[in-house]
A and B are shown apart, each in its own frame.
Chain A
Amino acid sequence: MGEVSYAPETEAVGTDAGPYAARWPLRDRLREAVAGCRAYLLIAGMWSRSTLTYRVSFLMTVVGNACMTALDFVTIAIIFGHTRTLGGFTLAETAFLYGSSGVAIGLADLLLGSLDGLGRRVRDGTVDALLVRPVPIFAQVAADRFALRRLGRLTQAAVVLVWSLIRLHVAWTPGRALLLPVMAVSGAAIFGAFYTAGAALQFRAGDAAEVQSSFTHGGGTMTQYPPTLFARELVRGAVFVVPVAFVNWMPALWILGRPEPLGLPGWTGWLSPAVALAVCALAGLAWRAGLRSYRSTGS
């Protein structure tokens, strides 16, 4: 009975790791995060390879995806066909806002957009299959049906952003140049947190999935336009309640050298990474709570 002889050994390892895990929670968390990233890349890679087998179909969907969001910019272009400034902002400045907002949500959508599918999985019961795999479920859901076509949206926004940078007359300083990528990453993280929180909600209320898109796509559309268009209360809400203002408004206004509409000091533009960290932490907690509730109720 070969297996009996090694059985106690594996058991010993098993029982030993309990207190060990408790002693190093951070280390375990970190290991889990690394495993999650690895699994994400594995699954996303597999999906990419499988979509790339149909080149023509893939290209068409990328172009279509880009066109869909490009329509928003065509709208802006038509608006500026009727006026030179909107809310005191020129076309190039608005394009800068449009591009930075689009890049942020485009990145978040590319990386985490699949989280949307969680509600469906809860309803048809396939979440259980994900929970028995040795990989964090977040990574599995986020990478599921990873859609390279979402590059279309990201690319389109990036093109507009670059175009605006050429047209704008910004007095570039190292600080301004540094804030540009910081803004893109923080913005993506903020939208990513919204996607995550929306998915966490789907553990309980799968039907309510569309609420999430009010914050992601609604926030994305709002920040394409200058903050001066909106009622003061709305801007206040975007700064203090649902912090989409930190996706691009605050840092972009500082880069553009414009005053902040609520009269906050200019350095608030540099708060974006901190705000992003905070909402990501909250979204992480929401995700944990959602998963925990699923695992105690099974539905």
Chain B
Amino acid sequence: MRHMLILGGGTAGTIMANKLASALDERDWRITVVDGTEEHYYQPGFLFVPFGIYRMREIVKPRRQYLPGRIKFVLSGIERIDAEKKTVMLSSGEALRYDCLIIATGADIHPEQIDGLLNEEWGRSKFDFYTPKGADRLAQFLKGWQGGKLVLSIAEMPIKCPVAPLEFLFLADAYFTERGMRDKVDIHLVTPLSGAFTKPVSSRVLGEFLERKGITVTPDFDLGRVDNKEKKLVAWDETEVSYDLLVSIPTNMGNACIARSGMGNELNFVPTNKQTLKADGLEDVFVLGDASNLPSSKAGSVAHFQSEILFQNILEHIEGRPACAHFDGHANCFIESGFGKGLLIDFNYETEPLPGEFPLPGIGPFKLLEESPINHYGKMMFRWVYWNLLLRGMELPIEAEMSMAGKRVR
């Protein structure tokens, strides 16, 4: 009996468990998923919690409910991966041997990585919205806030869901407008990027959006420390931005077990072949989702597209054939822009987000890089798609490989 071991029961791990559960013969393979917590959060929902659009209890379900019956779920942290001995040591003391390992341990925020960020003001005048607790506390705070200077700060790249900061700002603009206090709130984006986003066309379009909404951008700001007394951000080159309310996206890092295993880069992300998703230099180890060092976005849509590629490659691999399906870096993200509208971007390693239309049988077309109500409905509908189709490893009408259909190339 061979053993398929999946570390992490989040978006990536759960999709993979479902796909493999129906493909691997029960007489040959047992499948285990290890995770440190019982709760599966719909992470795209965190964005909406501070503005009272979703409540936290509406975006959480038990992990086990989304794993098929034949999967063994082990509730434990992960101590260390020993790829030589093909064994994973758990925090519980148990050791699990594997024949094939999938690392899907994700990424988390690390406010302690920035000098002065994590102190008694964390949760009072400085917040995150990437954790359930952070998003909840910010929702409570915003209800009673009288206004001032709101600064959204990105500490360093890469971050999970790179469009989330922009969506937060658009939603903040709408939230304060609808409460009749937009004139009392000064909204700022402080980012290490050279503009609103990474790639030229989308950076320009999204930059214009921010400008139109009266949101000030401070680009090329590499956050060095937070001065709590003066309430200001200080960059490594000593430039400063003051704040009344700081919404921080701290350094994102891979799971600490990756560092303990001596496998990660400087941010604990696992070096991974960007096409086959095989861990560099390790036998029988694959990496899926945010845990890898791939130059693709850290996002659920990416984990989903990767899972289709990885599924093919694992089936080849366990039969002793080379992994020949190739991931192209495809990402597809709705960008909520406030007031019941949204944008959509679709891109991969080589092709930047372009304007045009995104065809989707029966529902689309959605507008690319352009605001429209249908994109907003797409985003809101996605929560249902996530729980009912995506996690279950079902076929979605979007191909893993990016298509140029509908995109306008200048």
Do chains A and B stick together as partners? no
